[in-house]
């Protein structure tokens, strides 16, 4: 079986982050890789937006003002359609037990803030290669 190659511009990445500066910075890095970027600043409509655009990757903040990223993650993993959606938690929560909780809740990767752009880009590309 051969893999189907997709141009980066055909990939949709959804960033759910309430901090506008971080959201925009992450968007710049994602765009620099050639991917299309969509944004949300709260978790309230994240599930609906994900169902609408069907992103290839979700970059999700844990500490959103209304619904936590962990709750969004758990809801997504209950839906067959999104069980394999690559999800990267991008959060200030850097304690070992937080990382374990995030990964055990269904995240595919975990990046703590502040982050290095090169590391974030490499992790995004690694998730999209799968």
- Residues 108-116 have a mean pLDDT of 96
Residue 16 β-bridge partners: 40, 60
Q: How far apart are CA 71 and CA 85, in angstroms?
A: 15
Question: What predicted TM-score, i.e. pTM, was given to this entire model?
Answer: 0.92
- Residues 32-53 have a mean pLDDT of 94
Taking Cα atoms as reference points, which of 76, 87, 78, 70 lies closest to residue 13?
87
> 9-27: buried (b, 16+ CB within 10 Å) or exposed (e) per residue?
eebebbbbbbeeebbebbb
pLDDT above 70 for 83: yes
Helix (H) or strand (E) holding 46: helix 46-53
């Amino acid at each position: 079986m051969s893999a189907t190659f997709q141009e980066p511009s055909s990939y949709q990445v959804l960033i759910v982050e309430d901090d506008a500066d971080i959201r925009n910075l992450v968007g710049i890095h994602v765009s620099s890789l050639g991917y299309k970027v969509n944004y949300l600043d709260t978790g309230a409509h994240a599930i609906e937006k994900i169902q609408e655009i069907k992103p290839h990757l979700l970059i999700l903040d844990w500490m959103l003002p209304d619904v936590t990223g962990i709750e969004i993650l758990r809801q997504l993993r209950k839906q067959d359609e999104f069980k394999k959606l690559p999800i990267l938690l991008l959060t200030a929560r850097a304690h070992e037990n937080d990382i374990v909780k995030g990964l055990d809740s269904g995240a595919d990767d975990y990046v703590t803030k502040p982050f290095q752009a090169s590391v974030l880009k490499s992790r995004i590309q690694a998730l999209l290669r799968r």
